[in-house]
Amino acid sequence: MITGVYYALAAYLAWGLLPLYWKSLQGIPGMEILAHRVVWSFVFVMMIIFATGQWENMKSAMAKRENWLTLITGSLLISANWFIYIWAVNNGHMVEASLGYYINPLLNVAAGVLFLQERLNRGQIVAIALAASGVFFLTAQFGQVPWIALTLAVSFTLYGMAKKKVSFEPVVGLAVETAMVTPLAIGYLVYLHAQGTDAFSGGTPLAMALLMGAGVVTAMPLLWFAQGARRIPLSTIGFIQYLSPTMSLLLGIFLYHEPFTPAHAVSFTLIWAALVVYSLSHLKGMREARKEAVG
């Protein structure tokens, strides 16, 4: 179990530090960074697919045409999520982006009610109400909806729902998802090159290396997470997952000096309270289920 905790910590630490990586590419348009992230993720993951003998699994996944709509939808959702996050980080919205990943677990619960007819317990109702209050308070204070946070949370929630409809090994899943959008990404990069505006061919060796490395920094945390999830309880993952947005929040405030007003403090406090209530409710539910199973 300790090994699983290390894997999970490595994954969420990497995701928490990822803003530093995107900041190093700040002079490059977000859409171009996304295109490289898709292409080089596909290249890197395919190397892993062949090295680990999972080519047949990938072919099998791609052969099921009934899964294609779900796979394409998931690919577009995660691509949109990646783009919004990269854009947010490189345009001074890291604090708001971290807010999106704080509210994501609660949005997952709400989606379960709306789309899967799941029932909420009292703790979950309180948690969702607190989180909604935090978002509404921030909206009222600044006169605009925190669209970056909400778009990140909604896109990742819908992506998670799409993933539930198909069951692949993580590396196969990422390979299939990137395969679906790689032709679009390559087409966009070819267009930029033809226009003479691409950052890759005319960039510095460091910029080229960082763009190619986007595939590695995308795939490795996912693989670490998969190894951790196999070894430790979901409840443990549930607590560790908040490490990533917390690191992003701290980086935004203390390293990049993004504004964190009293309104932000109130909003985040409400959402943190919601997460505490949600986590305690989740643990209580797991204990009760364990008792029923034993009894």
pTM for the predicted model, two decimal places: 0.90
**Reduced to 3 DSSP states, what percent helix, strand and coil does the chain have, rounded to the nearest 5?**
85, 0, 15
* CA end-to-end span of the chain: 26
Residue among 263, 273, 254, 286 nearest 94 (CA):
254
Q: What residue spans define the domains of the chain?
A: 2-294
Three-state DSSP class for 198?
coil
What pLDDT sits at residue 293? 64
User: According to the model, what pLDDT value does residue 1 have?
Assistant: 67
Q: What is the pLDDT of residue 234?
A: 65
**How far apart (Å, rounded) are the C-alpha atoms in residues 287 and 268?**
28
Between CA 103 and CA 110 the distance in angstroms is: 11
CA distance 89 to 148: 11
Residue 3 confidence (pLDDT): 84
How many angstroms separate the Cα of 255 from the Cα of each of 1, 10, 19, 154, 279? Answer: 34, 21, 11, 27, 29
pLDDT, averaged per 10 consecutive residues of the chain (295 residues), comes to: 85 95 95 97 95 90 83 93 97 94 86 79 88 90 89 92 81 90 97 91 88 95 85 75 92 95 93 89 73 64
- Cα(82)–Cα(36) distance, rounded to whole angstroms? 12
pLDDT at 218: 93
Contact 123, 171 (CB under 8 A): no
Q: How far, in Å, CA of 96 to CA of 91, rounded?
A: 11
Token pair, residue 159, equals 């992506």
- pLDDT at site 2: 76
The pLDDT of residue 235: 64
Structure tokens at 74: 């998931």
